[in-house]
Structure 1
Amino acid sequence: MTGYLTTHVLDTARGCPAAGMTITLFRVEGARREALAEMTTNSDGRTDSPILPQNGFGVGTYELEFDAGAYLRATGQASEDPLFLDTVPIRFGISDADAHYHVPLLLSPFGYSTYRGS
């Protein structure tokens, strides 16, 4: 298998990369979630390496969990409790074991979006 998974986070409210956000990757099988990796975004809002490299990559269902609440608090964008957005999960499927999958998060304190990037 030559595929791999990358991600990045953009802070759309501030118009910049979201540095310092913790992201956890899970493999999902039925009701079971297995944590595979945990990384923190760099100054470019990206992880320093693929969050799921070629040697662990495979067809299946995965979930990226973004610790948006801690990031929004740290950047002064959220102070209420509970936060409107705290943990942002994105569950997606990988069907091609030889492809590059890129799943970004575009985040603001009151909304987010994602897409399959390149």
Structure 2
Amino acid sequence: MELVTATLGSHGLLLEGLDGKIDGLVIAALGAGHVPQTWCARLQALAETMPVVLSSRIATGPALSSTYEFPASESDLLSRRLISAGTLDPYIARPLLGVHLAAGSSRAEIAKAFSDRH
């Protein structure tokens, strides 16, 4: 499992080559839960093979869920099967994901564990 932090201007190179090497991913997104647009296709492909949790890298406040609707916004990413971390920051979301992966939880069970914390 990995944690990748989004930054302005990033091309998402840290997302390359993760297939088959990890079983889950937490994204520390910008502000309300956005990433650079260049990340979208890669995150969608990863979310098809493993749980990808979307959190905000901001210390307080949630990753939003339906405020913005542009490519790479939180609502766009959630429509691509990413799982919202809600109010959990990436450093809390990562161990929660890890516990569920170790327990063999399904994607649906993982999504519910995060939605229970909204």
TM-score using structure 1 length: 0.26
Higher Cα Rg, which structure: 1
Between 1 and 2, higher relative CO (CA 8 Å, sep ≥ 6) is seen in 1
TM-score, normalised relative to structure 2: 0.26
Higher strand share: 1
* More helix per residue: 2
